Amino acid sequence: MVFTHDTEESLQAAVVLVNAGEPPVTIETVADLDAFFAGQGYTGRHDSTQAELEEVLALQPRLRELLTADRDAAVALVNDMLATAGAVPQLVRHPPTDWHIHAVPSDAPLATRILVETAMAMIDVIRDDELSRLAVCADDDCAGIVLDLSRNRSRRYCSTTCSNRNAQAAHRARRADQASAASPTA
């Protein structure tokens, strides 16, 4: 594990949320948000309203900026986000999770909690100087964010769709090279 469990979960969820705004868009409706909430294991307040959906979607550009910022820029963003939200870190324990940090109450709006959680997670990333764990997808046409928590830092694509597409393109390019090398007219 690169970071503590809750830090990795928060980063993962933030990346999923940002990437959900890239084609094919996967969070558009309240039902999509419900699925995201359940899928990422969120607890606490969840209104399931259009207003909550709009607040959460409005986070996408802010989270993208934070997750792709350089170290000093990320520090400024984290400090600003935490101060604006009035964050007060508290150790909490609720099943099935052991002691971990919440910095805003569990009845705060979902968008506030996602933002603060991501900012808290970025504290670890910044202190450990591990911002290289976050990057934009290596696919030329994809703006998805890659969170690489692998030991050998081998992840380059945001999704299996992107990695498969690029593996196929590389394979086709190799075959085309071989074909032109074998052809007498080349």
The nearer residue to Zn ion, 17 or 162, going by C-beta atoms, is: 162
Q: How far is the CB of 145 from Zn ion (least distance, A)?
A: 9
Please say which residue, 20 or 158, places its beta carbon nearer to Zn ion. Answer: 158
- Smallest gap from residue 72 Cβ to Zn ion (A): 27
Site string for Zn ion, 119-158 (x = CB under 5 A): ------------------x-x--x-x-------------x
Only one of the segments 60-68, 79-87, 125-133, 161-169 lies at the binding site for Zn ion (rule: CB under 5 A); that segment is 161-169
| Contacts of 40 by beta carbon, 8 Å cutoff, 6+ apart | 9, 12, 13, 16
CB of 163 to Zn ion, least distance (A): 8
Nearer to Zn ion, 32 or 40 (CB): 40
3-state secondary structure the chain: CCCCHHHHHHHHHHHHHHHCCCCCCCCCCHHHHHHHHHHCCCCCCCCCCHHHHHHHHCHHHHHHHHHCCCHHHHHHHHHHHHHHCCCCCEEEEECCEEEEEECCCCCCCHHHHHHHHHHHHHHHHHHCCCHHHEEECCCCCCCCEEECCCCCCCCCCCCHHHHHHHHHHHHHHHHHHHHHHHCCCC
Asked if 110 interacts with Zn ion (CB under 5 A), we say no
Binding region for Zn ion (CB under 5 A) out of 48-56, 58-66, 110-118, 162-170: 162-170
**Minimum separation from the CB atom of position 129 to Zn ion (A):** 25
What is the binding site for Zn ion (CB under 5 A)?
137, 139, 142, 144, 158, 162
